[in-house]
Structure 1
Amino acid sequence: MQTLSNDILSVTIAERGAEMQSIRDAQGHEYLWQADPKYWAKHSPTLFPIVCGLWNDTYHLDGKEYHMLRHGFASKSDFTLVAKNDHRVTFALTESEETLKVYPFHFNLSVTYRLDGNTIHVIWHVENTDRRELLFSIGGHPAFNVPGMKDGDPLDGYLRFDNPNAERLYGNTHGCITPGHHPLEMDGNVWHFTCADFDDDALIFDESQLHEVALLDRERRPVVTIGFRSPAVGIWSPTAKNAPFVCIEPWYGIHDWAEFTGDLSEKYLINRLQPGASFMSEYTIRIG
């Protein structure tokens, strides 16, 4: 475990998956979901080299068939600590014999966490170290405790979107998306959610409709605000469990379209890097 701290926040990150484990304020209040396996045994996994699901957990590349489970392998991989000070830490992952079996690319992936006042910057850097074009998706999956909820309570929370007209996709066809955008019933730009709202799995927003989502308390004051530039974002809590958390997930990538069997290069929102090129982006988590 590695810890970043200042007089406002303390953030703990594991080398396994380069995954945040805790976000606490100076009073000891925990904002990040604590991975109770009764609901979901994760905190904030890194999604790479795919985001969400492939049709039949399968993709095609250069006429060959490969199999990869939902969200890829990064969250299950041991990263290497490469740099650390009181306010910044960087972890790195490269290809291995095992990853090459399911993802035949050479790459460098680094995940950096930078603590600045009440804001955490989560920075992704992907470098193509292969001799051919690198195809990838990357995303975050942080889970936050819903304010005012205790274990056993019905799920009851509020999110504020920066676009009151955002429309969702559905991703519940064998874990893949179907065409068509659907409006949400909101009070202005505030969405009141309950467990039933996740009966169709995550709410998925593409086409860069959103760039900020805030988790509000019962008085509709922001508790956690996620800022991002990614073209897609998912909102998720486990179906039919009344889990006391909600995930706000910035994505550079998305599920397959249902029944998609084309080449990986044709996948919706796939990212491309030429040999020697690199990709960098970040999302932010602001507390309070």
Structure 2
Amino acid sequence: MHITLRQLEVFAEVLKSGSTTQASQMLSLSQSAVSAALSDLEGQLGVQLFDRVGKRLVVNEHGRLLYPRVVGLLEQAAEVEQLFKEDNGAIRVFASSTIGNYILPEMIAHYRRDFPTLPLEMSVGNSQDVINAVADFRVDIGLIEGPSHMTELVTEPWLEDELVVFAPPSAPFLQQPITLEILAEQPWILREKGSGTREIVDYLLLSHLPQFQLCMELGNSEAIKHAVRHGLGISCLSRRVIEEQLEAGSLVEVPVPLPRLVRTLYRIHHRQKHISNALQRFLKYCDE
């Protein structure tokens, strides 16, 4: 059986108007096309839906049984059509932890202000989790703290982010000029392997130290901030992450005898991913 929406639409219009002539005018079809669609529908169902009374078509018991279901199907089809006319598809975003916790909330708030009901799914993990999810088409777009090296992904520079070394204000080593040797002697509390922050800190900072003492690895920036505040070591995170603590004085920035530690944040998607209008609209808010 191959019943079409057009056949159901013709049936509903003939029932409402009582003739194929008026139905053809309402549907902008020829009368012969309307008659053929109605005849095909009745043939597939194996029943007549109208009693032929002269030139009039009067709905019978079969037509009355079918009509409510046809109305429901046509309404659902219209809803599906409207979904895509308005680009209301659910957007799935996966961000690494610094971006997801400290950058995206403000962007999403602006997006929600203009589009309060549109579906948006956001996940937060480390950069490697994001890369894997984008590569597997489990999400539409990824936002990460370091470049992706997967050839099947498109990696685009997105934002610049400054990293700062920080310590508790009572740390004794702060009373002397800071050298790379002094930094190397401190106990370091770092993000876990696979984190975009860790990859960049290793490259921009730790590679310049003669050696360094890894005291602890933590998978959460909030945990690192508290560990440093309680005197367990020093660390290096995005300025956005510790901005409030620096202003309050519970943490202090450590001057580093190196060029500014600036990294690029990246936006990634699969090369074969179709960038829909809905997704383009969301990305504009990210760019702003």
Pick the TM interval, shorter chain. under 0.3
Q: If the length of structure 1 is used for normalisation, what is the TM-score? A: 0.24
Higher helix share: 2
Higher strand share: 1
Q: If the length of structure 2 is used for normalisation, what is the TM-score? A: 0.24
